[in-house]
Amino acid sequence: MNCEEFSLPLKTPLSTAGGDIRERRGFAVRIGGGVGEATPLPGWTESVEECREALSGIEDPDAALATLDDRPAARHAVSLALADGAARERAVPLSRHLGGDEDLTGTVAVNATVGDGSPEGSAAAAREAVESGFRTVKCKVGARSVESDLKRIRAVREAVGPGPAIRVDANGGWSREEAEHALDGLAEFDIALVEQPLSADDIAGHRELPRRIPLALDESLAGHTPDEIEGVADVADVFVLKPMALGGVDRVVEVGSRLRAEGVGVVVTTTIDAVIARTGAIHAAAALGIERACGLATADLLAADLAPDPAPVRAGTVAVPRGPGLGTDGPWTGGGADA
């Protein structure tokens, strides 16, 4: 197994509750003919240091998969490299190897994301996204008062008109009282779904919220196994599946298939990953046949990447690479360190 460490700067620092993110650090992994990526994001996964330690201790990649549940980014890299290699040997796209129907559509719809700006700025950004072809816009909320957020969402809806879907993502920023008030106010704007209104650990609160608008869970899934996630399938209408946080695209397809069998919707998103993991997420979404827009339009957040993007965003969609495996060869220059 060969492992190469990388650091990719963001074009603009991304503000989060845990501080600003200025770069994405991680590891590109090659196992035989396959490539994988571990890009840890503390709060969602293990730390970079813990990931490095986990990868350096692997002697048998296949056997290691069963031991990395508490190191999801490391498991993601290993499982993706193994799956990519196996798909290349079969001469099929990774989406097909993961169980996708070869007759499924060759594109995945993606959403544009509008940050927490002024009503005028949010409206302008949403209008620009729709004019460029996006049919779904996700607006960040929860950092301001509910009334301020309602004013912003009203401006966004007026800017884009009645056709495009609008999602709002509170990132766990509301109390139960604030969430109920927000759901009441948002109902008039034809909102497609409200993502993570309450804190990640408030499963009971999410279960008790009135379903005036479809509810999605995201942060609440971090660190949970497929069985644990299936056990809370009644809590939300849509589950947001992040391959890096769940431990691999194989886990995403497993969890997504289970949830969809129970009538629960799913979308796939990244954690601002580099091109290897981002492309893997596209294949996972394609394997599941997801029709909802997925959160995969994140390449533009990076100032540099590991390799050319085989699936750039065009008019609100990405084309699923049709070549064997991932469709990208990764950042390899022959100088990677053994792990």
Q: What is the pLDDT of residues 132-182, one digit of tens each?
A: 999 999 999 998 999 999 999 999 999 999 999 999 999 999 999 999 999
Residues 6+ apart with CB under 8 A from 311: 278, 279, 282, 318, 319, 320, 321, 327
The answer to the question of whether 169 is labelled as a binding residue is yes
* Separation of alpha carbons 63 and 335, rounded Å: 26
The model carries a pTM of 0.94
Strand order in the sheet with 317-319: 107-109, 317-319, 313-314
pLDDT score at 252 = 97
- Residue 189's alpha-carbon distances to 129, 161, 167, 310, in angstroms, are 18, 10, 10, 36
Q: What is the pLDDT of residues 201-230, one digit of tens each?
A: 999 999 999 989 999 999 999 888 888 998
How confident is the model over 191-199, as a mean pLDDT?
97
Alpha-helical (H) ranges within the chain are 48-56, 61-64, 72-90, 94-97, 119-131, 146-160, 176-186, 203-208, 226-230, 243-246, 249-261, 275-288
Rg of the chain in Å (alpha carbons): 19
At 13 the pLDDT is 83
pLDDT tens figures, 261-301: 999 999 999 999 999 999 999 999 999 999 999 999 999 99
CATH 1.10.510.10 fits 107-319, yes or no: no
What does the pLDDT read at residue 329? Answer: 63
Question: Where along the chain do its domains lie?
Answer: 2-91+331-338, 107-319
Superfamily of domain 2-91+331-338: Enolase-like, N-terminal domain (3.30.390.10)
Does the pLDDT value for residue 16 go beyond 80?
no
The secondary structure of residue 251, as a DSSP letter, is H
Would you please indicate which residues are annotated as catalytic (active-site) residues? Answer: 140, 242
Q: What is the mean pLDDT of the chain?
A: 92
